[in-house]
Amino acid sequence: MSTETVEESDTGDSPVLEVDSLSKHFGDLKAVDDVSLAIPEGEVHAIIGPNGAGKTTMFNLITGTLQPTYGTVHFEGEDVTGTSLDARTRRGMSRVFQSAEVFPQLSIKENVRLAAQSNRQSFNPFKRPLPEHEQQAEEILEELDFEESVSTKVANLSHGDKKRLEIGMGLATDPSCLLLDEPTSGVSQEDSDRIIDQLVEMTEGITIVLIEHDIDIVMDVSDRITVLDTGEKIAQGAPTEIQQNEDVQEAYLGGVA
């Protein structure tokens, strides 16, 4: 295990999300190997790397979908390494998956309301919502600005709108940290632009951890970037530093300076 000390935030405050020597081994395969991060409040932090670099495994470890071989995850100062995905969500950590995880036979509004009520009640469509959950859903839907009626079944939405809906559902849980796994994957350029614009507008002050295949988006929206290659952290820094890093160019950026 590495003796690397996890870096403090630039402000000197405790990081919102901190992982120390995080590792996940599957037999001889080291999917994530000895990675440490410290992400301060309000930062947009991208995790990038070539296919098989360990990005999604890293997200699974941070959110509790997988338990690490060794290493720890701290969220808002508390060790959450052994806790479940649901427990971390209730603490304020929300994840948006690469493939939209929505309820297709329920309406747009019902999906967002269910996400809102899941924090204090349960993800149960038959549970009577509290008035504040209805209000929260309405406020988020106003910002998402769907062309369809909010009573439209989600099964009838385009892929891009389903992706926007899931981001709205993530925000409905009142997260202090939102993890986004390929939010623009498989959508048109128009939908991609809309997703990113709304993310920027709706997540001010929220800590964002982002996996994104579109390097232009990563460079545009990120405060800092961590680069993984074969499960290891090979670089971390501001977008301009990452663009100029020779190891990153070799592993991921194809030599583009």
Q: Which amino acid type is present at position 198?
A: Q
What b/e readout covers 14-32, taking b as 16+ CB neighbours within 10 angstroms? ebbbbbbbbbbeeeeebbb
Two domains, one topology: 1-91+206-257 and 93-174: yes
What is the average per-residue pLDDT within 142-168? 93
**81-97, pLDDT tens digit by residue?**
999 988 998 899 999 87
Domain ranges of the chain: 1-91+206-257, 93-174
- Is CATH 3.30.200.20 what the domain over 1-91+206-257 is classified as, yes or no? no
Each residue of 18-68: pLDDT tens digit? 999 999 999 999 999 999 999 999 999 999 999 899 999 999 999 999 999
**Whether the model pTM is above 0.85:** yes
The alpha carbon of residue 35 and the mean position of all alpha carbons in its chain are separated, in whole angstroms, by 17
Computed from CA positions of residues 193, 197, 202, 206, in that sequence, does the dihedral angle turn out positive or negative? positive
CATH of the domain spanning 93-174: 3.40.50.300
pLDDT digits (tens, 9 = 90+) for 163-204: 999 999 999 989 999 999 999 998 999 999 999 999 999 999
Q: Is the pLDDT of residue 124 over 80?
A: no
pLDDT digits (tens, 9 = 90+) for 205-238: 999 999 998 999 999 999 999 999 999 999 999 9
